[in-house]
Homo-oligomer: A and B are copies of this chain.
């Protein structure tokens, strides 16, 4: 007991929760915000911006990469990160469903 019973849930439920889980930490939200706001894709200055050590930032980046939320490419000495457009499209579609379904809800209780 203790481990998540992910095998007992659907693929969709697992995929969705992996996406959300990856966004479930303030440092990773900060990273996404930084990437969104940076004119060009950012490199290693994340470490200067975030209140975390280099090792910890690297770990958070890895988690975002594992969830396919960001992708990195080697740019000379450093690495350049940006959002993964495929995942972003998927995310938009999912959220769109969520919002739509709810629009026709009646809130019969609560």
Which residues from chain A sit less than 8 Å from chain B, CB to CB? 4-6, 8-10, 13-14, 16-18, 20-30, 32-33, 36-37, 40-41, 51-52, 71-73, 75, 80-83, 85, 88, 92, 95, 98-99, 101-102, 105, 107-110
Task: Please give the distance in Å from A56's CB to the nearest CB on chain B.
Answer: 9
Task: Please give the distance in Å from A18's CB to the nearest CB on chain B.
Answer: 8
With A17-B23, A28-B17 known to touch, is A102 a contact of B83 (CB < 8 Å)? yes
**7 tightest A-B CB contacts, nearest first:** A21-B24, A9-B26, A8-B51, A20-B23, A13-B26, A41-B109, A80-B109
Say which residue of B72, B80, B85, B108 sits within 8 Å of A41 (CB atoms): B108
